[in-house]
């Protein structure tokens, strides 16, 4: 009787679980190891405000969101992309819908029912889970001698192939702490430095008055634009939030890669904030110049342009008292408030991670060139993408791709 080969999947996030699903379907004996008490911790957190599974835009537009890593990711996403994600969820009994922004969500918006159904199917397929098993990657490492730290002491395991899906370095309390990076580098695997992605930024300093009054409040119905020193441009409408030290939120996350890289190269980055993107510069200037009689400037701006609260507050941050009373300067600033950013927030606060195992260090099947029968998937790989379903879809696609590589390697 032929014994099926054993594959160890280290990491129980979406990439690891998808690898386990594809591997188990091929007939492999699959063991999933995770340092946490349960799998999918970050997946559940991401779904707290409504689980954004993928995006419904045309495939070419979808792929454009991956920037310089499009070429590496496109073959994986061609096999397991947005449509396949929706079909996969439907197969678990979870129907989806397209929101007004084009994002795709489960009909109940929740992550937990989907994860429960997924784990039930994996267990029924024979996948075995080993919780509170933290991979110890120092020293000798090959699939035949895996070491794990557990509450009961060190445990060992042997496998014919390994899929590493340990995540990046954000939200370490949920299990992805980036500890694997130096271990793999010591074994000759090239790793690009891990950096925050989809992150907030610290500015050059709000005043104490602004910070105490507006930290935590949103800038709504605004637009930002930014052109880096290489001529790459970003412009989009949306909303974001002021923090005590800077800015964060969906609109900022979308521009974070450009902003982060510019800060790294030049020491700072200055974006322009349009407080009234639906009004032209001429309309704003005309409203500012309109006679205000006995009204105060703040009352005038509120009545003519709807500028109050945090939007009025940021104008006082950018302009002196004298400049506020210069109609030309005030109108120009309403359309382009300069916000100077000095640093990205720490990587542990970021939604996701840039950097990771370089694609040049892997073959076309995502197997390490330095470590035979070791495959890499998910946020451990050197890519990044904005929020909107892109991160989750590509993580799952890479898990499936690594599993296919292992299947080919094992001759299943």
Q: What is the DSSP letter of 230?
A: T
Q: What is the pLDDT of residue 286?
A: 94
For the record, the structure tokens of 254 come out as 């979308």
Tell me the C-alpha distance between 141 and 147, whole Å: 9
Which residue spans within 136-177 are E strands per DSSP? 146-150, 153-157, 161-164
Q: What is the pLDDT of residue 32?
A: 98
Least confident of 74-88, 211-225, 282-296: 282-296
The answer to whether 125 touches 9, Cβ cutoff 8 Å, is no
Residues contacting residue 60 through CB under 8 Å, at least 6 positions apart:
none
- Categorize the per-residue pLDDT at 411 as very low, low, confident or very high, splitting at 50, 70 and 90: very high
First to last CA, the chain: 15
Residues contacting residue 308 through CB under 8 Å, at least 6 positions apart:
298, 301, 302
Tell me the C-alpha distance between 178 and 385, whole Å: 18
For the record, the structure tokens of 199 come out as 């992150």
SS3 assignment, position 246: strand
Q: What is the pLDDT of residue 97?
A: 96
The answer to whether 170 touches 196, Cβ cutoff 8 Å, is yes
Q: What is the pLDDT of residue 234?
A: 95
The answer to whether 156 touches 141, Cβ cutoff 8 Å, is no
Mean pLDDT to the nearest integer, 356-363: 98
Q: What is the pLDDT of residue 49?
A: 77
Q: What is the pLDDT of residue 143?
A: 85
Tell me the C-alpha distance between 167 and 152, whole Å: 25
Q: What is the pLDDT of residue 47?
A: 75
The answer to whether 234 touches 305, Cβ cutoff 8 Å, is no
SS3 assignment, position 367: strand
Tens-digit pLDDT profile for residues 172-229: 888 889 999 999 999 999 999 999 999 999 998 899 999 999 999 999 999 999 999 9
| Residue extents of the structural domains in the chain | 6-196+353-410, 201-344
Report strand pairing: 218-227 vs 161-164.
unpaired
Which residue spans within 303-351 are E strands per DSSP? 337-344
Q: What is the DSSP letter of 172?
A: G
Q: What is the pLDDT of residue 129?
A: 98
Q: Is 412 exposed, middle or buried (0-12, 13-18, 19+ CB in 10 A)?
A: middle
Residue percentage of the chain with pLDDT more than 70: 99
Q: What is the DSSP string of 42-60?
A: HHHHHTTT----EE-S-HH
For the record, the structure tokens of 329 come out as 């300067």
The answer to whether 215 touches 241, Cβ cutoff 8 Å, is no
- Categorize the per-residue pLDDT at 139 as very low, low, confident or very high, splitting at 50, 70 and 90: low
Tell me the C-alpha distance between 55 and 62, whole Å: 7
Tens-digit pLDDT profile for residues 9-65: 999 999 999 999 999 999 999 999 999 999 999 899 887 778 999 999 999 999 999
Q: What is the DSSP letter of 3?
A: P
Q: Which residues pair with 376 in a beta bridge?
A: 164
Q: What is the pLDDT of residue 140?
A: 56
For the record, the structure tokens of 352 come out as 């996701």
Domain spanning 6-196+353-410: CATH 3.50.50.60: yes
For the record, the structure tokens of 85 come out as 């994600």
Cβ-defined contacts of 333-338 (< 8 Å, 24+): 334/274, 334/275, 334/276, 334/284, 334/288, 334/305, 334/307, 335/274, 335/275, 335/276, 335/281, 335/284, 336/225, 336/272, 336/273, 336/274, 337/272, 337/273, 337/274, 337/275, 338/270, 338/271, 338/272, 338/273
Residue percentage of the chain with pLDDT more than 90: 89
The answer to whether 267 touches 229, Cβ cutoff 8 Å, is no
Note the pTM of the prediction, 2 decimals: 0.91
The answer to whether 208 touches 398, Cβ cutoff 8 Å, is no
Q: What is the pLDDT of residue 2?
A: 67
For the record, the structure tokens of 384 come out as 């990044």
Q: What is the pLDDT of residue 66?
A: 95
Q: What is the pLDDT of residue 125?
A: 97
Report strand pairing: 128-130 vs 29-33.
parallel
Burial letters 298-307, b for 16+ CB under 10 A, else e: eebbbebbeb
Q: Residue 333 — left, alpha, or beta (φ > 0 → left; ψ -120 to 50 → alpha)?
A: alpha
Mean pLDDT to the nearest integer, 333-341: 97
């Amino acid at each position: 009787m032929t014994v099926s080969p054993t594959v160890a999947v280290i990491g129980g996030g979406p990439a690891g679980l998808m690898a386990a699903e594809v591997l188990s379907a091929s007939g492999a004996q699959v063991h999933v190891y995770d340092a946490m008490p349960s799998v999918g911790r970050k997946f559940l957190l991401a779904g707290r405000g409504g689980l954004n599974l993928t995006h419904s835009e045309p495939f070419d537009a979808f792929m454009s969101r991956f920037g310089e890593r499009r070429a590496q990711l496109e073959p994986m996403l061609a096999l397991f992309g947005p449509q396949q994600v929706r079909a996969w969820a439907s197969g678990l009994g979870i129907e989806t819908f397209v929101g007004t922004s084009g994002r795709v969500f489960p009909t109940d918006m929740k992550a937990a029912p989907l994860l429960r159904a997924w784990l039930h199917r994996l267990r029924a397929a024979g996948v075995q889970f080993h919780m509170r098993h933290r991979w110890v990657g120092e020293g000798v490492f090959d699939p035949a001698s895996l070491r794990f730290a557990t509450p009961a002491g060190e445990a060992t395991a042997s496998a014919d192939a390994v899929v590493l899906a340990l995540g990046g370095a954000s939200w370490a309390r949920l299990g992805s702490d980036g500890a694997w990076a130096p271990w793999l580098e010591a074994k000759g695997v090239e790793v690009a430095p891990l950096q925050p992605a989809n992150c907030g930024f610290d500015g050059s300093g709000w005043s104490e008055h602004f910070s105490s009054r507006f930290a935590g409040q949103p800038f709504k119905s605004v637009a930002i634009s930014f052109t880096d020193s290489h001529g790459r441009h970003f412009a989009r409408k949306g909303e974001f939030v002021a923090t005590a030290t800077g800015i964060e939120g969906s609109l900022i996350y979308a521009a974070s890669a450009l902003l982060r890289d510019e800060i790294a190269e030049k020491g700072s980055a200055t974006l322009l904030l349009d407080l009234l993107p639906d009004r032209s510069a001429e309309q704003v200037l005309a409203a500012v110049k309109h006679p205000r009689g006995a009204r105060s400037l703040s009352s005038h701006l509120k009545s003519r342009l709807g500028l109050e609260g945090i939007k009025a507050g940021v104008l006082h941050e950018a302009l002196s008292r004298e400049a506020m009373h210069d109609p030309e300067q005030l109108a120009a600033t309403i359309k382009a408030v300069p916000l100077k950013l000095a640093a990205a927030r720490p990587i542990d606060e970021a939604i996701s991670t840039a950097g990771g195992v370089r694609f040049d260090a892997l073959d076309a099947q995502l197997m390490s060139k330095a470590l035979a029968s070791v495959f890499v998937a998910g946020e451990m790989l050197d890519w990044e993408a904005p929020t909107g379903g892109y991160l989750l879809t590509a993580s799952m696609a890479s898990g499936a791709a690594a599993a296919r590589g292992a299947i080919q390697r094992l001759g299943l």
